[in-house]
Structure 1
């Protein structure tokens, strides 16, 4: 069985999230903070060692910790695993049974020190950031529509980034708390790794989840429009309905590859995510009834990158993205989340996110392009999606 964090005993102590995060940054430790959808509980973990990169995640055999994985693994962006040597559950801080003792004592000592200035880890990789202009994005969408009309692919997801200034006195922990309050239905996260950088986000999309009742869950989430006051009044165009149906079919094709027939399917239904609405279909498998011990890992390998962030078929869509998107997605549209925690394993697609630099933040957003796409409307969709993080930057503590 995977080792779970030690939550009982004399070593459990009360500290704030701010203390834990600052101690991790000061000690050059990797730290992940998260809050699951519709939960009030904030959780966090810190790794005391310095080896973060890992291979393809194996959910069932992994120790407790937090995965942070890119859109595409490369020499620059690798899969990251933050082992939970220290675990924060609400306001209780406890070490794992196998946490290295000397480093553990040093970390506890740093927790007692007076707070310094707000800080976070930034990327040390030599990156030449490029940013997609409105015209550049519209041109890429036009080319994508032409390629779809020529039957080179059915759908492709094109994204872009934007540079925004951080407000004076910006605090990642305060921003995380603001996100958690503003987006109760989202998976809210703050991840900071030495040399890799710091990312924050509020994602609406489960990639692979297995809860403490051993229920596997994934979803087809696609189609976007501005939220209306009453969800029952939502009217979906054929373009969004077809886009969401493509994601559904892709998940069903993954089940078929695994010869899995025992699943429940609910949807599509309209859900609200911040200032936007999407169409969502939920797929669940009760692993107590279905003997499939590696379903989480197997589906993770098949799903990522999903048609909701890449396209269909996957190979030509990915080739189009790399040829026409015009920048490196890095960890945007990858996936992240805790594994083998007290609440199970929950990996989410890294959407509605931003990367923190010293004085600026890079915001990311994408849109699903089909034959019926209007380039100007797709640009507006990315603008609306960026507001999720933009509103966080507007809050000055």
Structure 2
């Protein structure tokens, strides 16, 4: 796990018959029963999920995005689109870690050693059938009607025509009733199977609530071999028998939309006076039942004397033009005035830092996500607007994106 100073607890003999997923569920139940925040995630292409439990919400770090370097604390970042008292930026310390690929062990951080007696007793206890997930405050975001969303698109296009913004990304929330007996962890497992190349996550914290998602978009990644990676992901069309990655045809509007996101990333490199980056794309990629245009950017940190590049780029990138718009300040101001609801953690970012190994971080844009409430789910989707955007097509695009996550309902 990259946590050599952690204490490794072994499951007792009584748990010998439990599968790795049953053990994960048992640990999650213990964390939720004691009111602790947790994150469960599965990396793209990985076979098994991981679980992280923070000792308490008070122990989380808030404010600035996490540092992406080997000396930074290990933990899980969960940041909103726009930070506020209702939607704080969280970094959950990796006090307790469980990797389902190494299901016989549970790791406890040095700072959380006092948890060992209670945790050891919990590992030996009988599993609970019900998990008490955290729910957020009762404030429910406004769910735009079709007419309201199309009007938002028209206002956005007018702002582009008037040169108030170059691009803006509009979004909306939708409410769906939960089916009887809905289990967020079972839904997480379902998403894992549906989207093997997505970053699938389930985060639950007091006051913040429970969020479930499967996102295709990397925001900032630092790999074990010393490579910084980000991507420009934009433009959307359905995956069909006729239109697949090799045969997809993109309209000028979609090509321009994706190019603006790529240009935004290049401008971030320019602000840091960095020219030694590799750009690959754009190319058509599959994300669930959708196609997107994607350009990848990589920097070899071994060949560029820039140890803080990952941290600096993260702070420049968020929120990217793929979720906000360009110029950043003008687009954020437009959304504040016209979008009509609080995005909360939708289009923020999330992911593990220094959990897999020191210096390894993988942060993703929180797309294709929903918030679980007591009896309903709040789903989110957005579209990038350019001067050529058509309100009807933008509405249909949000409908397609909502289906990605709605499938688990």
Normalising by structure 2, what TM-score? 0.92
Match of 1:38 in 2: 45
Pairing 1:95–2:107 present: yes
Aligned residues of 1:6 and 1:97 also touching (Cα < 8 A): no
SS in 2 for 1:18: helix
SS at match of 1:158: strand
Going from structure 1 to structure 2, the CA distance change for 1:312 and 1:369 (only over 3 Å counts) comes to same
Given that 1:176 and 1:189 are in contact with CA atoms closer than 8 Å, whether structure 2 keeps it comes out as yes
What's 2:127 paired with? Answer: 114
Instruction: Determine which of 356, 363, 370 is the counterpart of 2:386.
Output: 370
1:73 aligns with 2:80: no
Tell me the residue number matched to 1:356.
372
How far residue 292 of structure 1 moved from its aligned partner, in angstroms, is 1.1
Q: Distance in 1 between matches of 2:270 and 2:97?
A: 38
Q: 1:96-175, aligned counterparts within 5 Å?
A: 96-111=108-123, 112-123=125-136, 125=137, 127-175=139-187
Q: Is the 8 A contact 1:21 1:173 kept in 2?
A: no
Answer with 241-250 or 12-21: which moved more.
Answer: 12-21
Would you say the 8 A contact 1:118–1:169 is kept in 2? Answer: no
Q: 1:244 aligns with which of 254, 258, 262?
A: 258
Q: Report deviation, 1:269.
A: 0.3
Hey, what's the Cα distance between the residues in 1 that align with 2:4 and 2:181?
35
- Distance in 2 between the 1:216 and 1:173 partners? 31
Q: Corresponding residue for 1:226?
A: 238
Q: In structure 1, what is the Cα distance between the partners aligned to 2:109 and 2:338?
A: 48
Residue by residue, what CA displacement relative to the aligned partner does 1:281-303 show, whole Å, maximum 9, x if unpaired?
00011112212111111001100
Structure 1 residue aligned with 2:286: 272
Contact 1:53 1:78 in 2 (8 A): no
Distance 1:105 1:167 in 2: 38
Residue pair 2:5, 2:110 contacting (<8 A) in 1 also: no
Give the superposition deviation at 1:94. Answer: 2.4
Distance in 2 of aligned mates of 1:210 and 1:41: 21
Is the CA contact (8 Å cut-off) linking 1:267 and 1:282 kept in structure 2? yes
Question: Which stretch shifts more, 174-183 or 55-64?
Answer: 55-64
Q: Which residue is equivalent to 1:55?
A: 63
Q: Distance in 2 between matches of 1:211 and 1:12?
A: 29
Counterpart CA distance in 1 for 2:254 and 2:341 is: 26
Cα separation, 1, equivalents of 2:5 and 2:42: 18
Query: Does 1:195 find its partner at 2:203?
Result: no
Instruction: Report the 3-state secondary structure (helix = DSSP H, G, I; strand = E; otherwise coil) of the residue aligned with 2:53.
Output: strand
2:408 is paired with a residue whose SS is helix
Conserved 8 A contact 2:215-2:365 = yes
Residue pair 1:30, 1:192 contacting (<8 A) in 2 also: yes
Alignment of 1:319 onto 2:333:
yes
Instruction: Confirm or deny: 8 A CA contact 2:94 2:355 kept in the other structure.
Output: no
Kindly report which structure 2 residues correspond to 1:277-316, keeping only aligned pairs within 5 A, or say none: 277-316=291-330
Write out the 4+ residue segments of structure 1 that deviate beyond 3 Å after TM superposition: 6-10, 12-15
Distance 1:279 1:172, change over 3 A: same
Give the RMSD, CA atoms, in angstroms: 1.7
SS at match of 2:92: strand
CA shift, 1:4, in A, is: 4.3
* C-alpha contact 1:37 1:186 (8 A) present in aligned 2: yes
Deviation of 1:18 after TM superposition, in Å, equals 0.9
The CA distance in 2 between the partners of 1:194 and 1:97, in whole Å, is 21
**After alignment, is 41-50 or 366-375 more displaced?**
41-50
Aligned mates of 1:9, 1:130 — CA distance in 2 = 46
